[in-house]
Amino acid sequence: MAKEVLMPKLSSTMETGYVTQWIKHEGDKVRVGDPIFEVMTDKIAIEVESYDEGVILKILVAENEVVPVNSVIAYIGKPGETIEASAAPSVSKEEPKVEAKEEAKVEAKEEVVSAPVSTPKPATKPVNVRDVRATPAARRIVREKGLDLAQVFSSMQPSPRLVAADVMSYIEKPKVESQPVSTPSTLSNTPQSVSESTFTPWKGIRKLVKEQMSKSASTIPHVTIHGKVDARALLILKDELTSTEQKITLTHLIAYFTARTLLKHPLLNARTSEEGITVFKDVNLGIATALTEGLIVPVVHSAHTLKLTDLANSISTVASKARKNELSLDQLKGGTFTITSLGASKVVHFNPIINLPEVAILGVSTIVDELRLENGQVVNVPVFNFSLSFDHRAIDGSPAAAFLTDLISVCEKPSHVILMQ
């Protein structure tokens, strides 16, 4: 009997997931423990292994389709084994469900009968890949031909659902009609104005960032306060502590002092829920890390208990793993406060978006030179800005300002005694 392959629930907050890549395809042999697909959870992309042995009999969900957890997305069984194919799970909560038997009949008809080539329909604006409705047979052709599903669907509108015949029509449709026609006069007398564009569907980490940032910005009343830091003492301390064996950066020092300052201001070391606010004793520090495909926030747990060198090692380790896509789920969950730095840029201040469900995030800008008058002398002072965004539902301006003031004071007068604790 064919075995169901389900969309796994890989975290307590995961309600939906989607396949970013099918590693195994229909007809491929699989053994227990073989990775069969990669799924994007609400935190990270993870390879999912097979619990059964056999061949992939049927794939019900195309790449980048969002489906609820525990949905059937494929079947594994013996070669040639017959299954009662189910409909692909709904790609979003708003999309009407398609009856399984109806979908199976449509697909069977498309696969057996040579579909006529339909007349191309008027093109409309591009659509999001999540909004595409297509039969499994149509999706299979799109995958096999290496086409862009959203682009094909857009060109076939106003068709309510993409079928195999539509895809074949798209493939056979002459592409030369979209080429601009140039004449000698236009080439010699009129400058060419060429409009080029590319479409990239929301997927992978970029899709995750989009969803998380949209939810945070739309549900949290953000307030951002800024403070200027005299970086002279920090820069001296950084140079003193850096050795041939280990490099200490400003990010490491700021993270170290932030973790300890949060112990004095626990209201900012918290997370919100529908029921209320949870304040944590342990500081689980999130370090926002920029990747080519988006932003990810690995977490250093119990950062307040680590010595500077240990904290520096932990930050460097999780950042390196993030860039190599080697983070575990444990290294991505449980954060209570996040630091995001644009120190390598020329940005002098910004308003960071809170990493939901945390209540605050600290932004760090680049260092710039500032002229100051000290003891009757004009001196050059390296400074940078802290930008603290906080959830005004959970925190008022006064405690937020008190935390930022204390953090600035510690950074401007760092102590070796504090560092050795």
* Catalytic sites, residue numbers: 392, 396
H-helix segments, 89-203: 100-112, 136-145, 149-156, 164-172, 184-189
State how far the Cα of 56 lies from the Cα of 124, in Å rounded to an integer: 36
10 Å Cβ neighbour count for 394? 23
State how far the Cα of 21 lies from the Cα of 18, in Å rounded to an integer: 9
Tell me the pairing of strands 222-230 and 377-391.
Answer: antiparallel
State the Cα angle at 194 between 191 and 195, rounded to 5°.
Answer: 145
Q: Which residue bears the tokens 């015949």?
A: 165
Q: Is 269 left (phi over 0), alpha (psi -120 to 50) or beta?
A: beta
Tokens at residue 142, please?
A: 């799109």
Contacts 24+ apart (CB under 8 A), 89-95: 89/7, 89/60, 89/61, 89/65, 91/65, 91/66, 91/67, 91/130, 91/132, 91/133, 92/66, 92/130, 92/131, 95/133
Tokens at residue 254, please?
A: 């700021």
